[in-house]
Amino acid sequence: MAQLTIAIPKGRLEAETLELFAAARLRLPAHRDPRQLACLDESGETRFIFVKPSDVPVYVEHGIADCGVVGRDVLFESEADLLQPLSLDIGSCRIAVAAPADLPENGHAMLRVATKYPRIASRYFGERGQPVEIIQLSGSVELAPVLGLADCIVDLVETGRTLRENGLKVTEVIAESAAQLVVNRASYQLKANVIAELISALKGVVLLREVARASRP
Amino acid sequence: MSEPLSKIPSGFRYYSAREARARRFVETTSMNVFAGWSYEEIVTPTVDYYSLFEQGMGETEAQRSFRLVDVDGRLLAFRPDVTTSIARAAETLFAKRARPLRLCYSATVFRQHTQSSADWRRELTQIGCELLGKNSTAADMEVLAIATELLQRLQLNRTFVITLSDAEIFGGIVENLGLDAKARDELRRLVDIRALSELERFLNTYTSAEESAAFANLIQLSGRSEIFARARQVITNTRSRAALDRLESLWRIIESIGYAANFEIDLGDVARLDYYTGLTFKIYVGGLGVRLGSGGRYDHLTGKFGRAEPAVGFVVELDALAELLAKEEQPNLSNQPENLLVSFDIDGAGAVFEKAMKLRAANRQVRIDGEETSWPS
């Protein structure tokens, strides 16, 4: 029986996460068939499960996984009750508002916002007193303003290339997003030693990388 | 089109057979433990004025309740907790009763809005006890001993841990740093989610880098007696120090009676600080992703309804406990009745109930069976 179960997000963060774990000399999943969604490491002590990024907080909050790696965008959107002991130095990007041109200053008009992040979007505009109509999409959000479905979008921006290709530009940055180590509240107490080891191993690598970047010209 | 009758509102459900037996077992066992410590059962109204809960729990918590309007237009709520109602009764109905008051309950509470996906239930059963009128380490120890006994009696095949802290440790730090309400909430949030690097950065604007790092390190992990010496190196204000001293004397008692294996000190526990005034604790059980229960000292609550008097208590979630038990091999939950069959076919129509009643008088379990063809119509 595995001592620890770690949820890894499939897709964008997957390779970087596994690379970070390797750098921290943590045991990695033995050769994995990409269709296999759960596997043990070589020692059999750690189980890795590979799930959709937005499901990572769900698995961890229910305690099915003791901890996981997840982007802050997903974390903000899920509002899950999780411990967030360590910000990992991977997957840096921004959650931003993007539109074909600067948004009009008159705060009274209803703004149509297309997004995969309805909670983040409604919280952000709500705090500013801007009335919005949230249009929830599950992909290709950049298309919405082009086709006239929305006035602007709230989305994750990495390089900004997709935005430019669709004639959009960032008008406001809502938050910086990076990957985060999240831990289940009960596991944090009940598996304190194993989790402390994991945190300190990852923290070592994160600090080294920060130092390396700071010393770069 | 109308909803099909098969549909149940989200957050509610049926319980039957083994699950229902597990729930009954948890409730009976717990109430017996409370009775064993001389706690009197109290049954509070299911529906009460919304303003009561708003006063007792704070606006945010109270707003999660199911609300309805009374005939005179006043706002009512299905109770979202039991403690508030008990505190009010203590200062009104039981104001003249001798202290300490020892009260216990097993009751359903309702929430219209759940906090997260793991907390999907909108009808929950809470089991708890309150000790009012005593402010001492002995009173704190009493409720911890009851919580421990309760968990032991349920014979869960799992480890459990009760983490301890004191709300005044954090309170003293906030006061010492001179934080305003907003900064206090931010500090509380960072400690609560154990965001250590952000916490260090936040504290750096108020105090030295070494102190910030030492504090972040201190709240990172729970531990045992060694925590106190480390905490005193970092925390020097008198208010927090007094709380640390209190917590340490409680810890000494726990150690001396040999309970330390199930307890830990967790100075990162800063939940519901405006409610708790001293000891706070949380109960975790292996195999359960969510907290099983929590408790602590709340010396300001009763003051909202009359005289302020010291109070300490805890609550455990019956639903979570019963769910765990139902999954285990639990001899207490098996339903292998003696099944003394009383049959129309064998015993004859006339004798069935006579035989059944006799067996029942001897407290045996019976089950009526067979074809009822010979039964007089």
Domain CATH for B131: 3.30.930.10
* Domains contained in chain B, number: 3
CATH 3.40.190.10 fits A93-177, yes or no: yes
Judgement on whether residues B183 and B64 belong to the same structural domain of the protein: no
Question: What is the arithmetic mean of pLDDT over B6-10?
Answer: 90
Nearest to A190 by CA among B327, B140, B292, B316: B292
Contact (CB<8Å) B198/A87: yes
A58 vs B: CB within 8 A = yes
Give the one of A87, A187, A189 whose C-beta lies nearest to B222's C-beta: A189
Residue B291 lies in a domain: no
Q: Which of A41-55, B144-158, B249-263 has the lowest mean pLDDT?
A: A41-55
Residue B330 lies in a domain: yes
Residue B327 has pLDDT above 60, yes or no: yes
Residue B4 lies in a domain: no
Are the CB atoms for A201 and A90 separated by under 8 Å?
Answer: no
Q: Which residues of B touch A86 (CB under 8 A)?
A: 196-197
Are the CB atoms for B309 and B299 separated by under 8 Å?
Answer: yes
Q: What's the first-to-final CA gap in chain A, in angstroms?
A: 48
- CATH architecture designation of domain A4-91+178-215: 3-Layer(aba) Sandwich (3.40)
Residue A184 has pLDDT above 80, yes or no: yes
Residue ranges per structural domain of chain A: 4-91+178-215, 93-177
Contact (CB<8Å) B163/A84: no
Q: What is the DSSP string of B157-187?
A: SS-EEEEEEEHHHHHHHHHHHT--HHHHHHH
A60-98 pLDDT, tens per residue?
Answer: 999 999 999 999 999 999 888 999 999 998 988 899 999
Residue B322 has pLDDT above 80, yes or no: yes
Token pair recorded at residue A75? 């974390």
Residue B11 lies in a domain: no
Q: Which residues of A touch B200 (CB under 8 A)?
A: none
Nearest to B124 by CA among B140, B136, B108: B108
B240-266 pLDDT, tens per residue?
Answer: 999 999 999 999 999 999 999 999 999
Q: What's the pTM?
A: 0.88
A91-134 pLDDT, tens per residue?
Answer: 888 999 999 977 666 656 889 999 999 999 999 999 988 899 99
Are the CB atoms for B275 and B170 separated by under 8 Å?
Answer: no
Cis peptide before A131 (omega within 30 of 0): no
Judgement on whether residues B122 and B206 belong to the same structural domain of the protein: no
Residue B7 lies in a domain: no
Residue A40 has pLDDT above 90, yes or no: no
Token pair recorded at residue A8? 């890894």
Alpha carbon A52 to its chain's center: 11
Q: How much of chain B exceeds pLDDT 90, in percent?
A: 67
Distance in angstroms (rounded) separating the CA atoms of residues B177 and A29? 46
User: A78 to chain B, minimum CA–CA distance in Å?
Assistant: 9
| A4-91+178-215 against A93-177: fold identical | yes
Q: What is the DSSP string of B218-248?
A: HHHS-BSTHHHHHHHHH---HHHHHHHHHHH
Distance in angstroms (rounded) separating the CA atoms of residues A59 and A9? 11
Judgement on whether residues B281 and B346 belong to the same structural domain of the protein: no
Residue B375 has pLDDT above 70, yes or no: no
Judgement on whether residues B68 and B128 belong to the same structural domain of the protein: yes
* Average pLDDT of the residues of chain A: 89
B178-223 pLDDT, tens per residue?
Answer: 999 899 999 999 999 999 888 999 999 998 888 888 888 888 777 8
Distance in angstroms (rounded) separating the CA atoms of residues A40 and A1? 10
The domain in which residue B359 lies consists of 337-369
Contact (CB<8Å) A190/B161: yes
Q: What is the pLDDT of residue B336?
A: 64
Judgement on whether residues B199 and B164 belong to the same structural domain of the protein: yes
Q: What is the pLDDT of residue A37?
A: 82
Q: Which residues of B touch A83 (CB under 8 A)?
A: 193-194
Contact (CB<8Å) A61/B288: no
Judgement on whether residues B42 and B171 belong to the same structural domain of the protein: no
Contact (CB<8Å) A186/B285: yes
